[in-house]
Structure 1
């Protein structure tokens, strides 16, 4: 779409979009250019702007000077002031490329960055500053929000670090309203999604890729509000107009922005995943169980660092997935004239279409890429690998259930191993005996007969088995006879110690070890396949740390290796003499 050449007749205004290369910032830039009466300065932390194939409008605007790009550092107020000089409006969007695990960087970019932007706006005589906040700033992570409006105060404590910093930045922006002629307002979209999304949708697709999106946390009845990205950018345009003409009812205030169509969080996620070929969530997990798992991951995050366990993202997802969070947008509709321009259904359809390259049948899925994983290689790549790696979930679960029942039957039932085996054989005999009397058809169902060949053993197999058993028996008898006559006392003590240790293991540890091994075999290989690179990196780091620790011990040892080598040489020379 070409830019309307008539925009010069409207005395175009100059605006700055901070964070203009991000998800929402890019959408806002394109919308401003389509309106045709703006000169847009795009500013972000990247040194240059990367244009997509679908952004011919932006490319044309950059070449005609209707748009320009500036590299900016929010921690440098002078750099910000140079970009803002001569502009009348600043749209302050999300900060791009931020590390959620680095508190200091997050604070300097979000809170200190907001202070620098405000100071630069006042210095450059900017008329309007519109801050893109989030509905999360009023959510404490512990209580539901039903039809919340702008009267909600900031919580005393916000569990999510980013939301806490966002709340501080928003409060700073609103507090300077009408100082030095600067008018401010803030928009609070809820659960933003759409084409180009880099956080919300990709995170759920990543969970689906690893097989974790099939679980529902809690009851699954919690409601949420969602906002399509184009509706957010439309709200920014509405807010700018309202600040210009209806100052009293808009300036210094915050407004919730949603699609006005609250729905169950898990239903929204199911529609999204189903549209991309992934399994809909269907297994409900107790919230307390997930909370316990999160506490373990939090401990690992603190001990091992964020490289392997990104706890903040998991905790935020847990809060979104468990609590009801719906918001009232009457103030936005009344004061800034906002109403959604894209429905929720249409927004989801557009999002699914834009993420088609991440669908289940695409190269994004590792199992479909044709590359054999290390876990598959370790298990031999056969039937055992298919079962332990959960290729067929029903089949793997059946095998796991059977193994658990056998484990209970032999080790947890309180009977001896021989009596358990005897009862199992008796049960199998009764089942097969009863099966033999069943008719070929029962209640309209065909009864499949078990062929006799399944129970037959060839004469050769029987002879080989008997021969092997007799050989082992004779060998053991000879060894026992030799030990009884005192021919080999060292072997006697070795066998005695071995039998004693075996008795301790069988009596105390065997049941625990088998139980742990059963759970481990059905979980460890599957988890390793999903996080292969992360686990390999962790192991490499452990080996490097161990190596550095050994070098450190050698350095602080009383007699260093170098001294030993120094004295070893003369001794050798003396011996040679």
Structure 2
């Protein structure tokens, strides 16, 4: 119904799910057009506006927008909201229901039936339903350039998609009944600000540590659609539907960003924008597929759990299959073309998203905060070298240590002879350096000052203090061991000493070589996979702690403790007497 206000003609529309993922940008775009009076219908009791929704706030205060609390399971609520409207947009939000089949059916399928009946009763002219490209997908089946001629799936990827296919069929069949024109849009993997499905799945995978893996070759092509383009497509479809074109009425159209992308490239782009680690390790696709099928079969056998509760399976299937759709019909018949590019959409999603990483990977994020291992190494030159902050300096130090290891342990000489030869070489080199002329072919030779070879009094004092402290600690530990009063100290001292004895007597050279290699690799690896290593270490530590506690319970109590307990008992007996 057209409404004339202040000499300007407005048309009234209703957006069901107007506070949902796709409903919000659709409402915003309708208000920006300036010729719509928008009714927002949603299941929330009241509307809660965000600070960025100034346009909607102004429209609500001026009367160009209004809010209705509607439960689509009740037809009477729907009639109240759509009375007098000429267009209804049904944005069936995926996050408005859970995994309960009955609730999902009443909202998706029965809700669509109620909206269709209410539109026919209220003489609404046009009804547009937001469906999904998943309605034509068979589980683990590739689609390369599929168009609207594809039939509905015979094996839906999940329960929700099955119900959406039923709702879409109901809407399309209702076309031209009682003057109602209908159309359905099938966006392919919509994402954007407020996305609680695709982006949440990817972030969940990244947080679990599996985001570093690329399943298969990662070259399968997939169509993703930015949410603003989906909202724009609905407006284009309404204009085409208003012209009563035979190619639009009662038809469904695939909506994409017209730019298929390799799944691994899209995931890497999202991870990079959100501050997560990029995928770097490949896993064979056949192995992943078989393991997933086995897990799904096992899960399906559980009485109170279904594969609907394992959303990561959707990501695995998406990573293994081609999902590319032909969007030429939407371009030709409803005049659709993307208004926001894929890269810009990912950037806007990451900027406005609450899913960005809270504790970033130090080498993949832009933050300057020190990592845990950098603080553990003291945050000085040693940390900079072992964490490869300066590759040239680190590689130079590594080669120097390799030379020292070879000189003292692999050359076949004794330690004293190797040390004496090294000191002799250093003395000869310093003497040769001292007799060099001040300039050689115009290049000045810097001199080494005597202060370079001096050790300050403060450094010497600190050195002796440290030696004295260590000596006192060892002396105190030896005294405790000699008294035999503490099994904890005995085990802490005996086990490392025995391991050190084995290392020194049998494989000292090999152990030092391994330690040298690990020093320049393990810290860097730990910094990259800090969360995963910490969680694994916590599990192992908990197991060892329990085992150590059981061991200590089986050991006899120290004699001194037994003697002290007997003295306390006798003293208490004397007091009572």
TM-score by length of 2: 0.62
Distance 1:197 1:435 in 2: 63
* 2:152 is the alignment partner of 1:176: no
Deviations 1:116-172 (A, max 9, x none): 111111111111000001111111122110011111111212132111111111111
* 2:243 is the alignment partner of 1:234: no
Report if the CA contact (8 A) 2:260-2:324 is conserved: yes
Q: Please report how far the alpha carbon of residue 215 of structure 1 lies from its aligned counterpart in structure 2 after TM superposition.
A: 1.4
Match of 2:288 among 282, 287, 290: 290
Structure 2 partner of 1:448: none
The 3 A distance-change label for structure 1 pair 209 and 354 is same
Distance 1:321 1:225 in 2: 12
Structure 2 partner of 1:186: 184
Q: Please report how far the alpha carbon of residue 212 of structure 1 lies from its aligned counterpart in structure 2 after TM superposition.
A: 2.0
Structure 2 partner of 1:270: 268
Structure 2 partner of 1:526: 535
Structure 2 partner of 1:434: 410
User: What SS does structure 1 have at the residue aligned with 2:93?
Assistant: coil
Report if the CA contact (8 A) 1:21-1:96 is conserved: no
Report if the CA contact (8 A) 1:91-1:130 is conserved: yes
Structure 2 partner of 1:303: 302
Report if the CA contact (8 A) 2:273-2:346 is conserved: no
The 3 A distance-change label for structure 1 pair 16 and 267 is same
Distance 1:525 1:295 in 2: 29
Q: How many residues align?
A: 400
Q: Please report how far the alpha carbon of residue 247 of structure 1 lies from its aligned counterpart in structure 2 after TM superposition.
A: 2.5
Aligned-pair Cα RMSD in Å: 4.0
Q: Please report how far the alpha carbon of residue 526 of structure 1 lies from its aligned counterpart in structure 2 after TM superposition.
A: 2.3
Report if the CA contact (8 A) 1:32-1:40 is conserved: yes
Report if the CA contact (8 A) 1:277-1:359 is conserved: yes
Structure 2 partner of 1:416: none
Bigger drift between 196-205 and 243-252 goes to 196-205
User: What SS does structure 1 have at the residue aligned with 2:319?
Assistant: helix
Structure 2 partner of 1:164: 162
User: What SS does structure 2 have at the residue aligned with 1:248?
Assistant: coil
Distance 1:289 1:154 in 2: 29
Structure 2 partner of 1:59: 57
Structure 2 partner of 1:46: 44
Structure 2 partner of 1:122: 120
Deviations 1:434-463 (A, max 9, x none): 3656999xxxxxxxxxxxxxxxxx9x99x9
Distance 2:125 2:200 in 1: 37
Distance 2:287 2:532 in 1: 17
Distance 1:210 1:94 in 2: 30
Q: Please report how far the alpha carbon of residue 277 of structure 1 lies from its aligned counterpart in structure 2 after TM superposition.
A: 1.9
Aligned counterparts, 1:393-542, within 5 A: 434=410, 436=412, 526=535
User: What SS does structure 1 have at the residue aligned with 2:39?
Assistant: strand
Report if the CA contact (8 A) 2:205-2:312 is conserved: no
The 3 A distance-change label for structure 1 pair 433 and 9 is same
Distance 2:37 2:211 in 1: 43
Deviations 1:203-242 (A, max 9, x none): 2123222322111122211110111111111100000000
Structure 2: 5+ residue stretches without partners: 362-371, 378-385, 389-405, 420-470, 483-530, 540-577
Report if the CA contact (8 A) 1:101-1:312 is conserved: no
Distance 1:173 1:529 in 2: 54
Report if the CA contact (8 A) 1:218-1:286 is conserved: yes
Distance 1:277 1:103 in 2: 36
The 3 A distance-change label for structure 1 pair 98 and 525 is farther
Report if the CA contact (8 A) 1:134-1:166 is conserved: yes
Structure 2 partner of 1:511: none
User: What SS does structure 2 have at the residue aligned with 1:147?
Assistant: strand
Structure 2 partner of 1:219: 217
Distance 1:310 1:96 in 2: 13
Larger Rg: 2
The 3 A distance-change label for structure 1 pair 320 and 59 is same
TM-score by length of 1: 0.62
Match of 2:334 among 323, 333, 336: 336
Distance 2:4 2:32 in 1: 12
Distance 1:183 1:339 in 2: 23
Report if the CA contact (8 A) 1:274-1:280 is conserved: yes
